[in-house]
Amino acid sequence: MQRMLTHMVIKMKKIEAIIKPGHLDGIRIALQEKGIIGMTVTEVQGRGQQKGISLQWRAGEYRVEFLEKLKLDLVVNDEDVEPAIAAIMSIAKTGKIGDGKIFIYPVEDVVRISTGERGKEAI
Ligand SMILES: Nc1ncnc2c1ncn2[C@@H]1O[C@H](COP(=O)(O)OP(=O)(O)OP(=O)(O)O)[C@@H](O)[C@H]1O
Ligand SMILES: [Mg+2]
């Protein structure tokens, strides 16, 4: 019963950040400075409002419909959500188009496989 209560009270979120590949190292360090260590990095292709990008080349103009991005997935306690967003933005925000996007989702539960810990303890 105690355990079930703990799971219901402690809320966690998944932060999914689409970033420029060159920003990964800085973001990793900025997150680590706030004690946020665990994350998953995936190479992705994406497009935003600019629908990819238009490039001038000798042969003329051509469009790249999807750009290379990285996706960071971090699951954090609710109290770490704003610090994590601030850390990501401190590096990723240049103020120009294409800086990326951050999506936030509720997380039901986490299982640390090596120990069987659940919820906050498992992050
Ligand atoms: N609505 C969306 N849904 C899912 N992924 C998105 C969405 N918008 C952007 N992305 C992802 O984020 C990446 C970066 O998007 P980008 O920063 O160019 O967004 P934007 O909306 O065009 O904003 P900006 O005008 O600042 O460029 C995209 O390549 C894509 O992977
Ligand atoms: Mg864009």
Q: Structural domain boundaries of the chain? A: 15-122
Closest ligand 1 atom, CA of 71? 31
Name the residue of 15, 18, 68, 94 to mutate for ligand 1: max ligand atoms within 8 A of Cβ. Answer: 18
Rounded to 5, what percent of the chain is helix, strand, coil?
35, 35, 30
pTM here is 0.90
97-116 burial code (b ≥16 CB/10 A, e <16) = ebbbeeeeeebeebeeeeee
Mean predicted confidence (pLDDT) in 23-48? 97
Select the more confidently predicted residue: 62 or 28: 28
Mean predicted confidence (pLDDT) in 49-57? 83
DSSP state of 53: E
Q: What is the pLDDT of residues 58-75, one digit of tens each?
A: 878 888 899 999 999 999
Backbone angles phi, psi at 98, to 5 degrees: 85, 10
What pLDDT was estimated at residue 43?
Answer: 98
Q: Is 94 in the pocket of ligand 1 (CB under 6 A)?
A: no
CATH topology (fold) of 15-122: Alpha-Beta Plaits (3.30.70)
What pLDDT was estimated at residue 40?
Answer: 98
